[in-house]
Amino acid sequence: MSKKAFLFGLAVGGAAIARVAMKMDEDKKAELKAKAQQGLADFKDRAIDYAFYANDAAADFKEEASKQFDLAKDKVADFADQYQAAKNEGGASFSSSLDEATDSLRSELAQVEADADEDANDDIVIDSATAFGDESAATSADAESTLETDSAVDSADSEATSAADSATDQPE
């Protein structure tokens, strides 16, 4: 229904404009034509101005992007030069020390995983002091268990710290 109403309105409006245009005198027609041409010329000028603005903005963006790309490229080149200098300074020991640090970290990880597997398979042991409420014997048994666990954790931490220190002591 709306399509029919639109077309009907367009036809009626066109007919009304044509009727008015026929009844206008020549001076009014010329004035209306001049206004329409001036409006069209203004529209073209405005469109050209916006095209120039867009072109300038695109050129500015390209220039800034080029600067940022050059800065990033220079930073990467500087980092590569520093890395190469450190590698050449250390020579063969640079890669071998890196391999040693990697191997030591792998062995420590394997040891931690093995310890975790052993702890997972521990049996539950209930002694008579814990089962029947003898508080003094249960407390001493818990203290021994805590001391053993703390010493195992401390030794694992010290091994990991020494491996990390040896890895960071290497030249860059």
Summarize pLDDT for 57-77 with one digit per residue, the tens.
999 999 999 999 999 999 999
Q: How far is CA 81 from CA 75, 87, 97, in A?
A: 10, 10, 20
- 135-168 and 92-120 helices, crossing angle to 10°: 160
Burial letters for 113-131: b for 16+ Cβ neighbours within 10 Å, e otherwise? eeeeeeeeeeeeeeeeeee
Q: Which of the pair, 100 or 11, is modelled with greater confidence?
A: 11
Q: How far is CA 131 from CA 19, 124, 137, 142, in A?
A: 112, 12, 11, 13
Residues in Cβ contact with 140 at an 8 Å cutoff, skipping those fewer than 6 apart: none
Average pLDDT, the chain: 78
